[in-house]
Amino acid sequence: MEKYDVIVIGAGVAGMTAALNCRRAEKSVLLLEKECVGGQIALSPKVENYPTKQQIAGSDLADEIFDQITEWGVEFDLDTVEAVSRTEDGFEVKCGYNTYQSKSVIVATGVHHRPIGVAREEELIGKGVSYCAICDGAFYQGEDVVVIGDANTALQYSNLLAGYCKSVHICTLFDKFFGDKTLVTSVLSKPNVRYTHNLALKEFVGDDELTGLVFEDTKTHDKVSVECKAVFICIGQIPHNDCVNGLVDLDKYGYIISDENCFTSCPGVFVAGDCRTKKVRQVVTAMADGGVAGFNCCQYLDTL
């Protein structure tokens, strides 16, 4: 079995940047991804905070990075990493179809959408309940839709949906928005966008398809009913770190404990991107993590 210098888990921008840096240092690199190249950024319709790009679709940005790393010779496989374990002289990465060996590992597994936890949520996914406006928004052209959330993702989705939906109603749990001020201003300038603060979702309405939502006003405790054809839930993320649970230390939310050096509690295992403990989760900080993790991983390999 071939043994790689580095196995990178996750082909988001953090993982791809780490893979690029390791390959440029002439290390053999295998990049593993279970779903799609680009991670969360691939679902963003418009990226405007990436230097040199005034505006670019997240999927296009991801494709450009992927083309670059494959040209540099990074090997790629579409497979789900189930477990990572130590061996006598490195690590074993067990996937759904194959098992790989490496001298080091960079974990860049990213995050997934957090469910809101209300009855019938899973039952109505694809029938009016969605977590991705890019994937499902076009199905509701000319309809009334709701976005639940108060940060950048909710605002970006609202901006996108306002372009072709009849109306967009943003409902937030707290009494303010937590997104970028320019994004808040842009979204709320749309004539078909409105918002209501201090609402907690209590019920999905509809039989086979969603027809509305029932909220509770957290200030007055009154019931608030909203008619809609779809709801887009944007209330945060959950890290994908089950495959390294027990190998590295995680915090109480499941994020890998690390600092700006991207070391983990396990020598030879590094972390990059949204799956680690950090304050700012943006495309540029994910790339920065990838660069740092790749550099430190190569230094580690050079000491073996």
Query: Cα separation of 145 and 192, whole Å?
Result: 11
Assigned CATH topology for domain 129-233: FAD/NAD(P)-binding domain (3.50.50)
- Tens of pLDDT, residue by residue over 196-226, are 999 999 999 999 999 999 999 999 999 999 9
* Domain boundaries of the chain, sorted by first residue: 3-113+237-303, 129-233
pLDDT above 90 (res 117): yes
pLDDT of residue 161: 97
How big is the chain by its Cα radius of gyration, in Å?
21
The overall pTM is greater than 0.75: yes
Q: In terms of C-beta density within 10 A (0-12 exposed, 13-18 middle, 19 or more buried), how is residue 181 classed?
A: exposed
Average pLDDT over residues 52-59: 89
Pairing of strands 230-233, 144-148: parallel
Would you place residue 257 in the very low, low, confident or very high pLDDT band (cuts 50, 70, 90)? very high
Question: Hey, what CATH class is 3-113+237-303 in?
Answer: alpha beta
pLDDT of amino acid 29:
98
pLDDT category at 45 given cuts 50, 70, 90 is confident
Domains 3-113+237-303 and 129-233 share a fold: yes
What is the model's pLDDT at position 77? 97
pLDDT digits (tens, 9 = 90+) for 68-105: 999 999 999 999 999 999 999 999 999 999 999 999 99
The predicted structure's pLDDT at residue 115:
95
pLDDT at 135 over 90: no
